[in-house]
Amino acid sequence: MNITMRKKARENLFKLIFELIFSNFQPNSKSFSLLCSSDFPNEDIEYIKEVYYGVIDKNKELSLIIEKHAQGFNLDRIYKTDLAALLLSTYEIMFLKDIPINVSIAEAINLVKIYSTEKSSAYVNGILSSINKELTNKS
């Protein structure tokens, strides 16, 4: 796996999930085809498809667990860029066992460092660490 291509695939997936937040989780085939280009290796295209449609399918479950760990913040109060990163990483943590949890969390933090506020990385890290702790204790 080419790490640089996977980072780009994850960044494009983050953008697609950000768009989903504003479209009531209705897929946009035009955006999807633009950001899931044939420039990516097949495994990255499959990764984008799985997570994109997985986030759509599991939206309510993901939202509940994020809200539970957001400590007093309902989803409407979370910056949408932070929420997109949280949805992406939470999906990976819960459903993609081939991606190390620390990688998923670190990548979410990197995305919010680029696209969100100065304090977002600590906020996102705290929520994802709490989610990871809960899920680890359940298994």
Model pLDDT for residues 108-117, shown as the tens digit of each residue: 999 999 999 9
The whole domain housing 56 covers: 3-138
DSSP annotation of 105: H
- For the stretch 7-45, pLDDT in tens is 999 999 999 999 999 999 999 999 999 998 878 999 999
Q: What pLDDT, on the 0 to 100 scale, is given for residue 139?
A: 63
Q: What is the pLDDT of residues 49-85, one digit of tens each?
A: 999 999 999 999 999 999 999 988 889 999 999 999 9
Task: List Cβ neighbours of 108 (8 Å cut-off, separation of 6 or more).
Answer: 85, 86, 88, 89, 124, 128
Q: Are the beta carbons of 109 and 119 closer than 8 angstroms?
A: no
In the predicted model, what is the mean pLDDT of the chain? 94
The amino acid occupying position 74 is: N
Residue (of 134, 100, 136, 105) closest to 122 by Cα position: 105
pTM of the model: 0.95
Confidence of residue 3 (pLDDT cuts 50, 70, 90): confident
Our count of domains for the chain comes to 1
CATH number of the structural domain spanning residue 93: 1.10.940.10
Of residues 138 and 70, more confidence is placed in: 70
Question: What is the average pLDDT across 103-131?
Answer: 97
Please tell me the distance from the alpha carbon of residue 16 to that of residue 10, in angstroms, as a whole number: 10
